[in-house]
Structure 1
């Protein structure tokens, strides 16, 4: 049987009401049906789990990303801690064949005590689609788990290159530090390595990213969680290739999804004249007949918030760049519709260009309010994510690719996002008879 090695990177911070857990890292491995597996987990937020899946099949390396979450004593396994990992989307393949996906699965740790943070039972991995089968879980092979309490231990014992592209911030975090140069002739030029001059700006700027999402909704909550994870990773990890940008990320979700919390969060930001604010909303939206706006209203707990008013809220803080992005319906009140999962096709791994990131986040000045669908249209979820959000992440990632023909401008990114989202939904008929979702934006951005 073909040998398969899978490695998982999970980013979780477990906050327990009974105990405060120190940051931990786990490495675990197992073998099943002549298939060898290994995994690495970095414990950040129980509801926001970024998962990396690495496999080598017939000598071809593939790297995938999935969303996940940590559950303590869930109903289907009342004494276990369970790491729930969703379907993995391929983001890199050595042979550039980006099709396919990795299955969703679960890591079970039985007899978990949240007070002591210790596991006294066995650990095992199971495919998510099979856990309900009688006798399946009891037949799963044991998993060996190695726990690291220090980042330095991870750097010494875990090969970061197996899980991250070298231009990613997480690679730099987990990779073994290089030995200090001892040669007196070693260059100290900060622009060495042919880094674009634009990425070496002297004055750092702060990009305030405010993520707002209806993660507790019964119909689209899981999709919204995944949207927020993708957006956080896009800026915190991918865009951080430019070291002159500091990202300040705030999230408002779950029971905190209240309009006053959005206002208070934005108003509490310490905003410099050269800073940027990007506010992203994922959830339900509506635009009833008789509305005087082409933009929808975002649904929140016991309240709502017009997308246009979010734009005013952000721009009133007087940042250099104010961007508001919404993934929500723009019609009579209705659930953001879920569609069958569709695996995404992505290009080969980008060489993220700091100069292109600077063009979008440092050199850009202006205000934009964007919505994922036009008046009287629905916005759709494709499996784990919103159709627009997936398209936006792909478009922005493409725009900062050093080999891309796409302009590194907000106009190009948003128009490409709308185009991709429409192509994914163009066969779906809206209530008015139109097809698909057609996003648009208002505002303008100039570049220095």
Structure 2
């Protein structure tokens, strides 16, 4: 794809719905494949990452199809019913898909080879290899525990008790999915709460899951193994990680008024809303409700002066994917913002901390970068704008690309990203949606 350039925009206005939640979409396909009967999914994210998961479930014997209505139907094989694939499982750009699916395979006696694009192949998998090896899975990984990777699931999977060394919803979910195939109880202890879509969806499909609060904010999650999961209807809410781009754009572009509808507002995912409030953003939640066990609502923002703030490390698990666009918001705020507890950003689709810092500097933003923190000196105030004028390397990272395109909407000079193609992995239609609100994008050859 040619590079994409974002120009200073007039007011952004409209009511929009962003694509379905990626985390919930992956889980709906996987659990539908190991449930008995039919699972119907409405609102599935049809980005490249999720389509890779759909292909992987087909390769292991589940029937997965998209209806003309836009609904997806999965006819599952039951726990323990997946088949050895006769091809590699290409996970594309998705760390979530790779790690969760390894968990699912670990609890079943089949062999599978996982591959991915250059970005995914650079990401560490040891964090799931270690606990899944305790379950009984055997791994042949590339150097550093990376993809390509071949694993053989346990013939007789063992239930384990695993204490997460760091808060990670992906590792927690991988262990729980492995526990589906093990007798007895599988227990995960997490030091602080992380997104709980796996717990909620397992319960929705009929599994016995108990969650206990421990001292210091820790949690113990217990899964009773070898359940008979049954196909269910799943309504996928709009992805708050995708909504964040439109919301931040509405905050930083003068005269804007944007409402994003049907957004998933799970408290363990909605840290971006709290952080925007800390910035002083004009943001409100409308029509809040419960759908399939998840909190859903419409989120409206109007533009206004943002003021720098300190974002605590404790909020990181609830907004880990939203930091790049929040850094863009901080660049437009008045005064300094400090973000703490960012070590996980260094092992995402790119080293998001360093890549965002380098791109912001190229756009004329003053900042300081630490091992796990970032301090950004915002340029906000009457008539003041981020200078812009740079071409930023996206580093094959969809969120980096979208964050700088959002920043370009409020910058004095245009901001370009060298490669916008990764955006389709999580947010197909991003350009059309933003231009429909009034954003000004243009293409040029990279």
- Mark yes or no: TM-score above 0.5: no
Structure possessing the higher relative contact order (Cα contacts under 8 Å, 6 or more residues apart): 2
User: Whose radius of gyration is greater, 1 or 2?
Assistant: 1
Higher strand share: 1
Higher helix share: 2
> Structure 2 length normalisation: TM-score?
0.27
> Structure 1 length normalisation: TM-score?
0.27
